[in-house]
Amino acid sequence: MIEGNLLENKVRVWEGYEEIHEELYYGKEFEDHLDLSLAEAMHLVERKEIEVYKNDEKIGKEELFDRFTEIDDEFIQKYAVYSDLRERGYILKSGFKFGSHFRVYPRGVNPYKKGPKSQKEHTKWVVHSVPEDHNLSYSEMSRAVRLAQNIRATMLWAVVDSEKGVTYYKMERITP
């Protein structure tokens, strides 16, 4: 079993992470470790791929979920979307630099490929998760769509209901 250590807002794995990184495309690799986002770590815990520790003490799945919701007040809806898309076979990476929660790659694509990427290897969607009672302004929607289109991706709003069900809404700019 792979062991990860809970840091402030991520889980760090020091050894044995090659398969989950190189074949399953989880995490961001550094010279001597792998950093997992909270959503990635939770998903791997649920799949029984890793165990997470804090100060040499294993954290159970329920307690880990509670800790993650304390660390990130958007964790519940972000994780609902992350888990839903991962279970459908998509690869998710941080969408932070595009003002959203996730960048989503099609099934079977290597997001770590070096060199030029073809259109099918490029980010397919930029996804931002919101709870069902969230109010979006027109400027917020417009900004998100334009940022997504700048990288040739489609903007999806992932609306998470009270039962953690996810509905996706595609937004695009149309020019007459």
Indicate if 97 and 67 belong to the same structural domain. no
Q: What's the pLDDT at 176? A: 83
Backbone angles phi, psi at 6, to 5 degrees: -75, 120
Question: Total structural domains in the chain?
Answer: 2
Answer yes or no: are the C-beta atoms of 52 and 41 closer than 8 Å: yes
Model pTM?
0.91
Which residues span the domain enclosing 129? Answer: 75-171
Q: Is the pLDDT of residue 155 over 70?
A: yes
DSSP 93-104: EE-GGGTSSEEE
140 exposure class (CB count in 10 Å sphere: 0-12, 13-18, 19+): middle
Indicate if 53 and 86 belong to the same structural domain. no
Indicate if 23 and 64 belong to the same structural domain. yes
Indicate if 64 and 82 belong to the same structural domain. no
As a whole number of angstroms, the distance between CA 77 and CA 60 comes to 20
Greater pLDDT, 52 or 109:
52
User: What does pLDDT average to over the chain?
Assistant: 91
| CATH code for position 9 | 3.40.1170.20
Indicate if 34 and 83 belong to the same structural domain. no
11 exposure class (CB count in 10 Å sphere: 0-12, 13-18, 19+): buried
The helix/strand count (H/E) of the chain reads as: 5, 11
- Residue 53: CB atoms within 10 Å: 14
Indicate if 90 and 17 belong to the same structural domain. no
pLDDT digits (tens, 9 = 90+) for 124-136: 999 999 999 998 8
As a whole number of angstroms, the distance between CA 173 and CA 154 comes to 10
pLDDT digits (tens, 9 = 90+) for 83-112: 999 999 999 999 988 889 999 998 888 777
Sign of CA dihedral 91, 95, 101, 103: negative
Q: Is residue 91 part of a domain?
A: yes
